[in-house]
Amino acid sequence: MTQVLALSGGIGGAKLAVGLQHVLPPGELTVAVNTGDDFEHLGLAISPDIDTMLYTLSGLSNPELGWGRGNESWNFMAEIERLGGENWFRLGDKDLAVHIERTRRLNAGEKLSGITADFARHFGLLGRVVPMTNDLVRTMVITDEGTLDFQHYFVARRCEPVVKGLAYAGAADAQLGPLLQEASQDPSLQAIVICPSNPWLSIAPFLEIPAWRELLHEATAPVIAVSPLVNGQAVKGPTTKIMSELQLEQSSATIARFYEGIIDGFVLDPSEAHIVPEISVATHVTPTLMKTAADKQRLAREVLGFARSFSNL
């Protein structure tokens, strides 16, 4: 059963997913995760946002970095460096096991959704973590240095190149798996929540898939987006840098406009409340900064309460 279907990227979105997982009855959360950041590295299939979600929901993530495993060792990386191999993308020893096993199973012909569901079970999760699609979608960043694949822009070039545009290769032909269709049509579904992830990097890859747009349009449950901006800034990552490079005003009003036609409600931080009059959908103002477990659970409750207000109209 799915009471909440959440759409998320990695670190920022996973914080709200943790809160939702805590406040919902066990197993009632399905998180659909961006796979536009996925890439092949050292011959391995890497799905950074899926792994961040699995590690965060299971309490195994690295709290300082936000990605990778806590209590990690780096022997593999040290040896790769000794051999003069590529070391710009850091794979910890425990994390490496996930990439190796995923690659083996993909090469044997399994689907990413089935592999991810098994990993989630092995990590002790009761809810579902589902890739946004099993098909290949790749976020490409068009910059003043040329077109870069996402991880080369994000990690190798540390988001320094100026972004001129974004492309989502493969999205137009990508399909949704049955798990997502089922979750979106579940009669107990109360809300579809767009987590406070970067709209251009983490949520646009979903929205560029025609079947996702259709799912969001046809859903009877309210679609609620949470703005990632607090005081005109993202907590982490290049959201506002990209907004300014794309000549967009750095405010939650821009985020709400980005989701226009898709969302029924918009949640934003009090520091952004001045833009409420500019927003065409229902709004809910509440602190969105999630530092502690209590913050995550409180925001999750606020979002669900806001979603319930749509059925009381």
Binding site for ligand FO1 (CB under 6 A): 9-11, 37, 48-49, 51-52, 67-68, 89-91, 95, 151, 154-155
Q: Are the C-beta atoms of 135 and 173 separated by less than 8 Å?
A: yes
Nearer of residues 152 and 296 to ligand FO1, judged by Cβ: 152
Nearer of residues 90 and 301 to ligand FO1, judged by Cβ: 90
Nearer of residues 8 and 283 to ligand FO1, judged by Cβ: 8
Q: Residue 260 CB, nearest distance to ligand FO1 (Å)?
A: 24
Eight-state DSSP code of residue 278: G
- How does DSSP assign 85-132, residue by residue? ---SS---HHHHHHHHHHHHHHHTT--HHHHHHHHHHHTT-SSEEEES
List the structure tokens of 117: 């569901």
Q: Residue 170 CB, nearest distance to ligand FO1 (Å)?
A: 17
List the structure tokens of 303: 């979002």
Q: Residue 133 CB, nearest distance to ligand FO1 (Å)?
A: 16
Q: Residue 168 CB, nearest distance to ligand FO1 (Å)?
A: 14
Q: Residue 197 CB, nearest distance to ligand FO1 (Å)?
A: 8
- Residue of minimal Cβ distance to ligand FO1: 10
- How does DSSP assign 139-173, residue by residue? EEEEEBTEEEEHHIIIIISTT-SPEEEEEEETGGG
Nearer of residues 51 and 272 to ligand FO1, judged by Cβ: 51
Residue carrying the six token digits 């495993």? 69
CA–CA dist 313, 308 (Å, integer): 9
Nearer of residues 91 and 226 to ligand FO1, judged by Cβ: 91
